[in-house]
Amino acid sequence: MAVTTVRRRGPKDPEGRMPLMDHLRELRNRVFKASIALLVGSIGGWFLWRGWHQGWGSFEGVFQYLQKPLLDFAEAKGYEDVALNFTQVGQAFDLAVKGAIWCGVIASSPFWIYQLWAFITPGLTKKERRYAVGFITAAVPLFLAGVAIAYLVLPNAVRFLVDFTPTDAANLIGADVYLAFVMRIILAFGLGFLMPVVLVGLNLAHLVSGKAILKQWRISVFLSFLFSAIVTPTSDITTMILLACPLLVLFALATVIALLNDRRRSKNSDEPDYGALSDDEASAL
């Protein structure tokens, strides 16, 4: 007679400590759940990308909204030869798949952002896990706000690039080049707005102290402008500043929250402060 052994988890550590293998299992589970959410979001993103046109109703797809800044600028300037150019037979389908996945990333953002936080949660104390609601409440709107701001500043970048077209030349822009440019900017804005919230999460997980964040403020300023310059591949300084300034404000707010959390933690001797350890000192994690 075969005997089935049931593997049970051990009791949870009150300080949130976990063995390495449990961390790896937790990471695997969170990545799997985030992938499922991304898959479901991508299926819905397929219809969002292409739009829906039936006799009983219709709506414009995301593709039409992404090319709208280009077409509006061409119409305002009187350019009749500005259009997206599909250079291969299967390119439209390939871009539709990429667009569906891109829409899925944005649509499923509440789920994979939560999985990111849930992976950090086992390393927190019971009191600190109460911040999960606040983390999601702040992270998801900030990510979506970054996406929205990117769409608002997109016409400036398009105007700057297309305006260099000589009067005696045609500007048949490759659809893959234009859409990759647009999707990269929009996602980069969203992730840029999300990073300060992740910084607060790392502070709650005892991985980064508020003093360490404050000490590196010059690097934070430099990286904010560097990140803005990289994700806005134009020499339009307005677009770069529109991204860098909100990032600096969010990083400053994250630093203040981390410092306040460190002060609260220092008053509670029961909570370990791993951020105060030296580089040569090992933590209990």
Place of tokens 């988890």: 9
Angular region, 171: left φ>0, alpha ψ -120 to 50, beta rest: beta
Please check whether residue 43 is in contact with residue 101, taking contact to mean a CB–CB distance below 8 angstroms: no
Return the pLDDT at 221: 83
Residue 262 predicted with pLDDT over 70: yes
As a whole number, the mean pLDDT across the chain is 76
Return the pLDDT at 191: 83
Cα–Cα distance between 101 and 91 in angstroms, integer?
A: 15
CA 100, chain centre distance (Å): 17
Mean pLDDT of 271-279: 53
Exposed / middle / buried, residue 195 (Cβ in 10 Å: 0-12, 13-18, 19+): middle
Return the pLDDT at 42: 92
Cα–Cα distance between 284 and 102 in angstroms, integer?
A: 40
Return the pLDDT at 125: 60
Domain segments of the chain as ranges = 24-50+60-269
| pLDDT single digits (tens) 199-239 | 887 777 677 788 888 887 888 788 778 777 766 655 567 66
Task: Look at 263 and 238; give whichever has higher pLDDT.
Answer: 263
Cα–Cα distance between 163 and 180 in angstroms, integer?
A: 19
| pLDDT single digits (tens) 46-74 | 988 887 665 555 667 888 888 888 888 77
Cα–Cα distance between 188 and 238 in angstroms, integer?
A: 16
Range with the poorest average pLDDT among 16-30, 35-49, 114-128, 212-226 = 114-128
Residues 6+ apart with CB under 8 A from 280: none
| pLDDT single digits (tens) 129-163 | 666 567 777 888 888 888 888 888 788 777 777 77
87 CB neighbour count, 10 Å cutoff:
10
Percent of residues, the chain, with pLDDT higher than 90: 7
| pLDDT single digits (tens) 78-90 | 766 677 888 888 8
Cα–Cα distance between 105 and 99 in angstroms, integer?
A: 10
Return the pLDDT at 7: 47
| Backbone angles phi and psi of 67, in degrees to 5 | -90, -5
Return the pLDDT at 101: 92
Write the DSSP string, the chain: ---PPPP-PPPPPTT----HHHHHHHHHHHHHHHHHHHHHHHHHHHHHHH-EEETTEEE--HHHHHHHHHHHHHHHHT-SSEEEE--STTHHHHHHHHHHHHHHHHHTHHHHHHHHHHHHGGGS-TTGGGGHHHHHHHHHHHHHHHHHHHHHHHHHHHHHHHTTS-TTS-EEEEHHHHHHHHHHHHHHHHHHHHHHHHHHHHHHTTSS-HHHHHHTHHHHHHHHHHHHHHHS-SS-HHHHHHHHHHHHHHHHHHHHHHHHHHHHHHH-TTS--GGGS-TT-----
| pLDDT single digits (tens) 86-107 | 888 888 889 889 999 999 999 9
Two structure tokens written together for 204: 């709650």
Return the pLDDT at 40: 93
pLDDT band, very low/low/confident/very high, at 43 (cuts 50, 70, 90): very high
Range with the poorest average pLDDT among 173-177, 200-204, 260-264, 269-273 = 269-273
Residue 5 predicted with pLDDT over 60: no
Please check whether residue 17 is in contact with residue 113, taking contact to mean a CB–CB distance below 8 angstroms: no
